[in-house]
């Protein structure tokens, strides 16, 4: 059997090859390549999909995050609460603006532990950044209550969880800004870099539209010092094709993960859990094992590629050495970094590939 990769973006392309190719040609022949009718249509369709009033297309998920804090006026001297076990981009979205990340430990679902937030709130706390990690919606009821009680802004990092819900409500719509990435490996992936925000606030949406295009509302009249974070027509057009099929793509991943949950059986391996009231769109299927490194090597030797999301938590990365945090500062976060493993999962994964992953893991000694 051919080696099984952790992800196969080519399979996702071939599933709708004709539609992607037709759209790409249409855009190439249109003569209009940045911020045009494809971007506008995608923004309308994605806002409707999420159930938000506005969507603003951007160049990446990181841009969505840092521009969110910029637009909300959060910067030097301010603190933002974020979970310790996230992808480092979440933290960079905070620190690019000069604000300080204050890390909180995750719960058993790999998301922000709402019961540990309050003790970290100070006079400087301005916002909570919730990351819906691996595809599962976070525990939003207590988090939104805390934001109300302490008058904090709420930003959601939805880069891994397009379409996930908490108590029936789509993530990205709980707070001030929902930040999305459409990096090719995400569940709603483009064919290059792309991102967006959603919001129900007219002013925030307007601020993003101005900021992404050098701070200009009207060509060559610049209101603020902005940036270039424009979404291009090709990515927006291809995203529209994928968005139209997102329901069936999510359903396919759900079926694969239900098989994993049903058929993976090993005493030394913990399977992911889903919180009551939350849905999981399975960006990653993350298992945990005290023998993680041996398991990784064993799977590799048996033709199965895996990835660790993420081996070094942001607070221990070289980039954030200046925060002065030491090993042991976030024991649960650090424990996850040593035990998590993402097994192969992608649209277009064959039954034989799933069988091989399940049988091989179950036979691990």
Ligand X SMILES: *Cc1c(COP(=O)(O)O)cnc(C)c1O
Residues whose CB is less than 8 angstroms from the CB of residue 167 and which lie 6 or more positions away in sequence, other chains included: 140, 141, 277
Of 135, 172, 178, 195, which one interacts with ligand X (CB under 6 A)? 195
What residues are paired with 153 via a beta bridge?
A: 127
Identify which range of 87-95, 134-142, 203-211, 315-323 contacts ligand X by CB under 6 A: 87-95
- Give 91 or 295: the residue with its C-beta nearer to ligand X: 91
- Nearest-approach distance from CB 72 to ligand X, in angstroms: 17
CA neighbor of 284 nearest in space, from 209, 345, 360, 197: 345
- Give 160 or 235: the residue with its C-beta nearer to ligand X: 160
- DSSP SS3 for 327: coil
- Nearest-approach distance from CB 64 to ligand X, in angstroms: 8
Preceding amide of 70 cis, omega within 30: no
Cα 200 to Cα 347: distance, rounded to the nearest angstrom = 31
- Nearest-approach distance from CB 221 to ligand X, in angstroms: 29
Identify which range of 26-34, 72-80, 81-89, 139-147 contacts ligand X by CB under 6 A: 81-89
Identify which range of 60-68, 75-83, 144-152, 229-237 contacts ligand X by CB under 6 A: 60-68
Of 5, 7, 83, 86, which one interacts with ligand X (CB under 6 A)? 86
CB atoms within 10 A of CB 154: 20
Cα 42 to Cα 23: distance, rounded to the nearest angstrom = 13
Dihedral angle of Cα 249, 85, 148, 124, to the nearest 10 degrees: -140
Our finding on whether 347 is near ligand X (CB under 6 A) is no
- Nearest-approach distance from CB 131 to ligand X, in angstroms: 5
Our finding on whether 87 is near ligand X (CB under 6 A) is yes
Our finding on whether 82 is near ligand X (CB under 6 A) is no
Our finding on whether 90 is near ligand X (CB under 6 A) is yes
Our finding on whether 5 is near ligand X (CB under 6 A) is no
Cα 290 to Cα 234: distance, rounded to the nearest angstrom = 44
Structural Rg of the chain based on CA atoms? 21
CA neighbor of 117 nearest in space, from 76, 152, 70: 152
Binding mask 142-181 for ligand X (x = CB under 6 A): ---------------x-xx--------------------x
Question: Which tokens belong to 187?
Answer: 């569940």
Residue positions counted in the chain: 365
- Nearest-approach distance from CB 254 to ligand X, in angstroms: 19
Identify which range of 8-16, 55-63, 73-81, 285-293 contacts ligand X by CB under 6 A: 55-63
- DSSP SS3 for 270: strand
- Give 144 or 160: the residue with its C-beta nearer to ligand X: 160
- Give 190 or 299: the residue with its C-beta nearer to ligand X: 190
Cα 124 to Cα 234: distance, rounded to the nearest angstrom = 42
Exposure class string for 26-57: b at 16+ Cβ within 10 A, else e: ebeeeeeeebbebbeebbebbbebbebebbbb
- Nearest-approach distance from CB 160 to ligand X, in angstroms: 5
Dihedral angle of Cα 167, 173, 174, 177, to the nearest 10 degrees: 160
- Give 55 or 269: the residue with its C-beta nearer to ligand X: 55
Binding mask 105-144 for ligand X (x = CB under 6 A): --------------------------x-------------
Binding residues with ligand X: total (CB under 6 A) = 15
Of 57, 61, 175, 189, which one interacts with ligand X (CB under 6 A)? 61
- How many angstroms separate the first and last alpha carbons of the chain? 22
Identify which range of 59-67, 110-118, 205-213, 346-354 contacts ligand X by CB under 6 A: 59-67
Q: Which residue is nearest to ligand X (CB)?
A: 61
Q: Which residues bind ligand X (CB under 6 A)?
A: 60-62, 86-87, 89-90, 131, 157, 159-160, 181, 183, 193, 195
């Amino acid at each position: 059997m051919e080696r099984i990769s952790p992800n196969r973006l080519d399979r996702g392309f071939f599933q709708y090859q004709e539609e992607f190719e037709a759209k790409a040609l249409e855009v190439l022949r249109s003569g209009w390549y940045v911020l045009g009718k494809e971007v506008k249509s995608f923004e309308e369709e994605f806002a409707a999909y999420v159930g938000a009033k506005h969507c603003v297309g951007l160049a990446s998920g990181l841009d969505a995050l840092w521009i969110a804090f910029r637009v909300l006026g959060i910067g030097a001297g301010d603190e933002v609460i974020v979970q310790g076990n996230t992808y480092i981009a979440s933290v960079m979205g905070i620190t690019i603006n000069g604000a300080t990340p204050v890390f909180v430990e995750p719960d058993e679902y790999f998301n922000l532990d709402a019961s540990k937030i309050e003790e970290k709130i100070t006079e400087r706390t301005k916002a909570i950044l919730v990351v819906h990690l691996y595809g599962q919606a976070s525990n939003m009821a207590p988090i939104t209550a805390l934001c109300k009680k302490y008058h904090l802004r709420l930003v959601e990092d939805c880069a891994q969880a397009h379409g996930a819900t908490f108590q029936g409500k789509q993530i990205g719509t709980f707070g001030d800004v929902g930040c999305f990435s459409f990096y090719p490996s995400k569940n709603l992936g483009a064919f290059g870099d792309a991102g967006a925000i959603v919001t129900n606030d007219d002013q925030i949406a307007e601020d993003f539209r101005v900021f992404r295009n050098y701070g200009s509302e009207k060509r060559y009249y610049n209101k603020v010092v902005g940036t270039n974070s424009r979404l291009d027509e090709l990515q927006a057009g291809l995203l529209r094709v994928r968005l139209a099929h997102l329901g069936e793509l999510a359903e396919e991943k759900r079926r694969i993960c239900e098989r994993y949950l049903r058929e993976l059986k090993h005493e030394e391996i913990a399977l992911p859990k889903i919180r009551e009231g939350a849905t999981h769109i399975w960006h990653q299927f993350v298992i945990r094992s005290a023998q993680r490194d041996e398991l990784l090597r064993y799977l590799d030797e048996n033709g199965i590629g895996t990835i660790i999301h993420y081996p070094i938590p942001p607070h221990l990365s070289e980039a954030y050495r200046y925060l002065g945090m030491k090993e042991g500062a976030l024991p649960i976060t650090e424990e996850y970094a040593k035990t998590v493993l993402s097994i192969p999962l992608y649209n277009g994964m064959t039954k034989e590939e799933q069988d091989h992953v399940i049988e091989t893991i179950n036979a691990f000694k």
